């Protein structure tokens, strides 16, 4: 049997002790790739990640958290000397899933050190900085990628297939709702499900910055380029309790009501809230209405109703509604198995780095996400519609 050619790729993973870093990037992506024997790139060729977990001492939870994570995962390499690791040529890739305000500084350092970079969104807290990261990566001639995970969720893959097949006819509008109730963490109550920095603007928190980065790539890749945005946001819940059980003032928006006009005329509207109680199919649901049919798209499932199956409602509040509007939608069949969306994008990035395969979700796309968030914040402050200027490649 032919010998398998292995491309061992060292990856510096920073911020991997956090919620996203541990669950999505380490456990469900990199470790799964290692377990499956690497990313197959030919009959006898694989890419094998070789991670080192890093975290600077500015987070007092390091190094204990790093050591514990190694023990839990069976990995051996960790370090609190992030700068020193950046100088090590055994690790050509730098990955960052630290809390948002730390991204600019560390991704810049990694780019300066000539590393290929893969990182979480938002890439920065403002478009100027996000665009600077793109320009630096371009100047350094390195490869770069930004997490755009929702594109590989089963529900969204099914939606894209429906669009390709022409199911919708002309798409008219897309309406979405995202979010759930995040517990405030008051003594004696339920603990919060998200980190406290999410609710402090000064620490990079805020619904608009968090979610509009996602909506930018979902809308632009699936429905078309965004022409303009109008957004109203609010900090509905004024006080929460942090990880230490101490009360703090919420300074970031926890809900955003955003409308996007696309260049092709489609109108998208997405409501997002960390104080919504869920009565819908999933935590993020889009309804797509077209001339020939409509779809309800969740994270994993997708339901459709064609023009022929559309009920004929009549307005009569004097009788109970005779139509069961939740019936009459059919599930879209999919594949038997879908890989984790973060893992799918990791594999594509690793192939991009090692085999030079195309990868279009780089720091410019990341900057466009931050730009949309920034324009939405401006629209909210100025109470007006704003057009999105082009960010040049
Ligand atoms: N793609 C997605 O769907 C998605 C979802 C949630 C969050 N995110 C993004 O992922 C990033 C991390 O979010 P999270 O929820 O995992 O946050 P988290 O608070 O759980 O983790 C933050 C990480 O940053 C590190 N860090 C924070 N302050 C530090 C300091 N002073 N010194 C050294 N290290 C420090 C922590 O050690 C930890 O590893 C954020 O940018 C967030 O916007 C993306």
* Residue 19 Cβ contacting ligand 1 at under 6 Å: yes
* Residue 97 Cβ contacting ligand 1 at under 6 Å: yes
* Residue 210 Cβ contacting ligand 1 at under 6 Å: yes
pLDDT at residue 182, rounded to an integer:
98
**Cα(20) to centroid(ligand 1), Å:** 7
- The H or E element that residue 31 is part of is helix 31-35
> Cα(117)–Cα(110) distance, rounded to whole angstroms?
7
pLDDT at residue 116, rounded to an integer:
98
Atom of ligand 1 nearest to the CA of 16: 39
Complete domains list, the chain, with CATH: 5-150+341-360 (3.40.50.720), 151-336+371-387 (3.30.360.10)
* Residue 366 Cβ contacting ligand 1 at under 6 Å: no
Q: In the structure encoding, which two tokens stand for residue 230, read together?
A: 């109008």
By the 8 A CB rule, do 53 and 91 touch? no
Exposure string over 335-367, b if 16+ CB within 10 A, otherwise e: eeeebbbbbbbbbbbbbbbbeeeebebbbbbbb
Starting at the edge strand that comes first in sequence, how are the strands of the sheet with 171-179 ordered? 330-331, 302-306, 293-297, 284-290, 171-179, 267-273, 255-262, 226-234, 386-387
* Residue 18 Cβ contacting ligand 1 at under 6 Å: yes
3-state secondary structure 49-115: EEEEEECCCCCCCCCHHHHHHHHHHCCCCEECCHHHHHCCCCCCEEEECCCHHHHHHHHHHHHHCCC
* Residue 98 Cβ contacting ligand 1 at under 6 Å: yes
Q: What is the pTM of this model?
A: 0.97
pLDDT at residue 308, rounded to an integer:
97
Closest Cα partner for 54 from 8, 95, 87, 19? 95
pLDDT at residue 342, rounded to an integer:
98
pLDDT at residue 245, rounded to an integer:
96
**Alpha-carbon torsion, ordered 133, 136, 137, 138, to 10 deg:** 120
Backbone angles phi, psi at 22, to 5 degrees: -65, -55
Give the residue, by CA position, lying nearest to ligand 1 atom 33.
59
- Kindly give the confidence (pLDDT) of every residue in the chain, 393 residues in length, as a single tens digit, with 9 standing for 90 and above: 788 999 999 999 999 999 999 999 999 999 999 999 999 999 999 999 999 999 999 999 999 999 999 999 999 999 999 999 999 999 999 999 999 999 999 999 999 999 999 999 999 999 999 999 999 999 999 999 999 999 999 999 999 999 999 999 999 999 999 999 999 999 999 999 999 999 999 999 999 999 999 999 999 999 999 999 999 999 999 999 999 999 999 999 999 999 999 999 999 999 999 999 999 999 999 999 999 999 999 999 999 999 999 999 999 999 999 999 999 999 999 999 999 999 999 999 999 999 999 999 999 999 999 999 999 999 999 999 999 999 999
Give the residue, by CA position, lying nearest to ligand 1 atom 12.
99
């Amino acid at each position: 049997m032919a010998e398998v050619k292995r491309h061992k790729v060292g990856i510096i993973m920073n911020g991997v002790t956090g919620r996203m870093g541990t669950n999505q990037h380490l456990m469900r992506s990199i470790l799964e790739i290692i377990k499956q024997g690497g990313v197959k790139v030919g009959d006898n060729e694989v890419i094998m990640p070789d991670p080192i977990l890093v975290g600077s001492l500015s987070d007092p939870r390091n190094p204990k958290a790093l050591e514990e994570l190694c023990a839990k995962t069976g990995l051996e390499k960790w370090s609190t000397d992030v700068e020193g690791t950046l100088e090590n040529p055994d690790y050509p890739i730098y990955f960052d899933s630290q809390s948002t305000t730390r991204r600019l500084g560390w991704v810049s350092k990694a780019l300066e050190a000539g590393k290929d970079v893969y990182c979480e969104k938002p890439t920065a807290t403002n478009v100027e900085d996000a665009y600077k990261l793109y320009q630096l990566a371009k100047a350094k001639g390195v490869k770069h990628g930004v997490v755009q995970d929702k594109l590989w969720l089963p529900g969204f893959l099914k939606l894209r297939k429906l669009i390709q097949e022409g199911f919708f006819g002309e798409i008219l509008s897309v309406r979405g709702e995202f979010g759930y109730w995040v517990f405030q963490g008051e003594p004696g109550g339920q603990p919060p499900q998200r980190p406290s920095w999410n609710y402090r603007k000064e620490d990079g928190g805020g619904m608009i910055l968090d979610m509009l980065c996602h909506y930018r790539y979902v809308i632009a890749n699936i429905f078309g380029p965004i022409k303009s945005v109008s957004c109203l946001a609010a900090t509905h819940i004024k006080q929460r309790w942090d990880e230490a059980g101490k009360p703090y003032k919420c300074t970031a928006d926890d809900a955003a009501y955003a409308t996007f006009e696309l260049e092709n005329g489609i109108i998208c509207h997405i409501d997002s809230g960390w104080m919504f109680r869920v009565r819908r199919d999933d935590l993020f649901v889009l309804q797509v209405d077209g001339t020939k049919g409509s779809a309800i798209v969740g994270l994993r499932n997708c339901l459709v109703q064609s023009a022929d199956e559309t009920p004929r409602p009549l307005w009569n509040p004097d009788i109970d509604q005779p139509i069961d509007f939740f019936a009459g939608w059919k599930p879209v069949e999919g594949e038997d198995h879908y890989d984790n969306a973060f893992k799918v994008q990791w594999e594509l990035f690793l192939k991009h780095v090692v085999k030079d395969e195309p990868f279009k979700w780089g720091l410019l796309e990341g900057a466009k996400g931050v730009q949309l968030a920034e324009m939405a914040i401006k629209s909210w402050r100025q109470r007006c519609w704003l057009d999105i200027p082009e960010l040049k490649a």
